[in-house]
Chains A and B, each alone.
Chain A
Amino acid sequence: MKKCLSLILFLIMAFAMTVSAGPNLMVDEAGLFHDVEKNRMEERCEELSNRYDMDVVIVTKNDFYDGDTMIEAADYYDYGGYQKEGVIFWINMANREVVIVTSGERVKNSFDQRAIDDVLDEISPMLSNGEYGLAALSFLNSVDLVMRGGSFQNPDVLNEALFSGFLIATVVTAAVVIYHVKALRTKGRQRDASSYVKPHSFNLLRQGDVFLYRRVSKTEIENSSNRSGGSFTGSSGVSHGGGKRSF
């Protein structure tokens, strides 16, 4: 029922938009941005949309959505009168979720799942810290980079790779050198006298296993999945790419 109401709302909005100048690229219903930020983002959305012949949309909401927010964002885009090719950046403050949904083959091919995941990984911590403006601008810069044919590279990847390399190299070097140093020491006390046991002289005379008591403990199983993504189809039947994170 709630989904139907949302659908009707989208249709009304779509109609209103077609009557007016065109769909808005920047909709801040949750009131997360200052006016200056909003203007700057709107200009940037328009600039990118014109440059790459697509729609770059930013939407913030504050209504709890009892379903998959990726579908919510995709439906908003599909019924919002936007171009076939485009990308929507969706923040739902009530659900505390951020979503990126891509539309159209050209955008889906450029802005692939890995790029979506990289962008979401970078901006999720910003949203957790309340830096909404910074998160949205980072998204727009990523769109520019990806559509220009470059690849979005999470700057942490290089640092993490170097750190992993350093860690692995340190462990391997230490292991090899320690192995060779230890090989220089072949003396040591014998632990026991097993080499001097008379053959077949061991006799087990008496044995017993006595059950004493039982303890049972239980711990709750945690479900810790705050990320998802992949290809999906919205209510309109249009295929999309996308991903989301909780923050």
Chain B
Amino acid sequence: MSEILGYKCPNCGANIPFDAVSQNLKCGHCGTEYNIETLEEYNQNILEKEDVYQWKEHKDQMETLGQVEYTCPSCGGSVISDGVTSATSCPYCGSSIIVKEQVDGSLRPDLVIPFALDKKQAIAKMEEELSRKFLLPKDFKSKRYIETIQGVYLPYWLFDCNSSCSARFRTTRTRTWNDGRYRYVQTDYYLVYRDGTMAFEKVPVDASKKIETELLEAVEPFDYSAAVDFNAAYLSGFFADVRQEESKDCIARANKRIHESMLEALTSTVFGYQSCITESSNIHFEGGDVHYALLPVYLLSKTYRDKVYTFAINGQSGKVVGEMPVDIKKAILMGTGIFLVTFIVAAVISFFLLGGRL
């Protein structure tokens, strides 16, 4: 009497009934043949566990020093200062109307990275970057505008964890040859599995709602070796954004970035194949630490054609990021010039290459 066990075909997913007596392991649906060791190992490495991301809860402390809060009635953004530094324009939208208000205290960050660039250096970095943008409207390159740049400590949540990850890949190795009449392509299919661990330190996720995440992630990375415990003295001469998002609102973004990095590290250990597709992956960590920090960024904003354009400069590295508008007239002039020159040169070369004669 036959003993029947159940396997799924790795190629098409159909059930393969295994007959222990006849030793038959051929998929009735796609015709692929397997040996029992292969399917046993395949089954052992199916990942069906749920991802586990577990973070500790962050405990806030209140800073009781007297501070001044500036609020922009135009965009609703607000920054705080030590009371000595005064805001003349909104760093988020560039509006010159700003309302000053005394506040008793605010949530104290765990860490701060002090500004490494002063305002002059930041302006020089900005001028250098903008001078390379040929299609940028002239107004954006004016010194008067660039000098309105403001140093702002932006609120970030920082995430630490030791994670473990398992991943399963479907890979192929291909060989081709011909016998003069036919071309042959032989493709071998493999299941590749990898398990590993990795530690992450202070993965930042911005806690500001006033500035786009795209801008604040583009300005990364920050060097945490310069990070120190928060002291209100670091605010002197700069502003600080008020945190608008809690850590629980930001963990999804941190989880996604950590998962991607883990998967990338495991994928880098798979080589010798022509193709590699991630079939499934699973991540697990517990007791991840969360910190609240202020990180140094210079902001410069301008409204152009009813849209606010904001630039950010990393206050440590000087990296400049942002979205800048296109000067349509410059773009048309540039396009027309390039088209005419290229057209003439390419047509003449093509004429002779195609065998034309004068």
B287 vs chain A, min Cβ distance (A): 15
Name the B residues within 8 Å of A212 (CB-CB).
Answer: 10-11, 34, 38, 42, 189-191
Contact (A208, B192) CB under 8 Å given A164-B350, A218-B183? yes
Q: How far is the CA of A43 from the CA of B257 in the complex (A)?
A: 84
Contact in complex: B326, A184 (CB < 8 Å) = yes
1/0 contact string of A185-202 vs chain B (CB within 8 Å): 111111111111110011
Count residues of chain B with CB under 8 A from any CB of chain A.
87
Q: How far is the CA of A53 from the CA of B22 in the complex (A)?
A: 88
Contact (A221, B34) CB under 8 Å given A151-B357, A161-B354, A196-B200? no
Contact (A153, B356) CB under 8 Å given A177-B331, A212-B34, A212-B189? yes
Closest to B358 in A: A151
B127 vs chain A, min Cβ distance (A): 16
B202 sits at the interface (CB 8 A) = yes
B178 sits at the interface (CB 8 A) = yes
A181 vs chain B, min Cβ distance (A): 6
A19 sits at the interface (CB 8 A) = no
B45 sits at the interface (CB 8 A) = yes
1/0 contact string of A207-224 vs chain B (CB within 8 Å): 111111111111111000
A166 sits at the interface (CB 8 A) = yes
Contact (A172, B135) CB under 8 Å given A187-B321, A212-B190, A214-B189? no
A21 sits at the interface (CB 8 A) = no
A116 vs chain B, min Cβ distance (A): 12
Number of A-B contacts (CB under 8 A): 232
Contact in complex: A194, B264 (CB < 8 Å) = yes
Would you list which residues of chain B between 165 and 220 have a CB under 8 Å from chain A? 171, 178, 180-204, 212-215, 217-218, 220
Contact residues of B: prevailing secondary structure? mixed
**Count class of interface residues, chain A:** 35 or more
Q: How far is the CA of A197 from the CA of B161 in the complex (A)?
A: 10
Contact in complex: B134, A213 (CB < 8 Å) = no
Q: How far is the CA of A210 from the CA of B134 in the complex (A)?
A: 54
Contact in complex: A161, B182 (CB < 8 Å) = no
Contact in complex: B347, A165 (CB < 8 Å) = yes
Closest to B223 in A: A195
B227 sits at the interface (CB 8 A) = no
Contact in complex: A203, B197 (CB < 8 Å) = yes
B21 sits at the interface (CB 8 A) = no
Q: Which of A177, A186, A205, A216 contacts B320 (CB 8 A)?
A: A186
Contact in complex: B342, A185 (CB < 8 Å) = no
B105 sits at the interface (CB 8 A) = no
Name the A residues within 8 Å of B329 (CB-CB).
Answer: none
A56 vs chain B, min Cβ distance (A): 22
Q: How far is the CA of A29 from the CA of B358 in the complex (A)?
A: 39
Q: How far is the CA of A192 from the CA of B11 in the complex (A)?
A: 31
Stretch in B67-75, B117-125, B332-340 with 4+ CB within 8 Å of A: B332-340
Contact in complex: A161, B135 (CB < 8 Å) = no
Name the B residues within 8 Å of A34 (CB-CB).
Answer: none
1/0 contact string of B222-252 vs chain A (CB within 8 Å): 0000000000000000000000000000000
Q: Which of B133, B189, B198 contacts A213 (CB 8 A)?
A: B189
B185 vs chain A, min Cβ distance (A): 5
Contact in complex: B351, A161 (CB < 8 Å) = yes
Name the A residues within 8 Å of B331 (CB-CB).
Answer: 177, 180-181
A118 sits at the interface (CB 8 A) = yes
Q: How far is the CA of A160 from the CA of B351 in the complex (A)?
A: 8
A1 sits at the interface (CB 8 A) = no
Contact in complex: A165, B343 (CB < 8 Å) = yes
Q: Which of A188, A193, A211 contacts B260 (CB 8 A)?
A: A193
B61 sits at the interface (CB 8 A) = no
Closest to B255 in A: A193
A206 sits at the interface (CB 8 A) = yes
Q: Which of B182, B197, B342 contacts A172 (CB 8 A)?
A: B342
21 sample A-B contacts, Cβ–Cβ < 8 Å, listed by A number: A153-B356, A161-B348, A165-B342, A165-B345, A168-B350, A180-B134, A180-B334, A181-B331, A184-B323, A186-B321, A190-B217, A196-B221, A197-B201, A201-B197, A201-B198, A202-B196, A204-B194, A207-B195, A212-B11, A213-B189, A216-B185
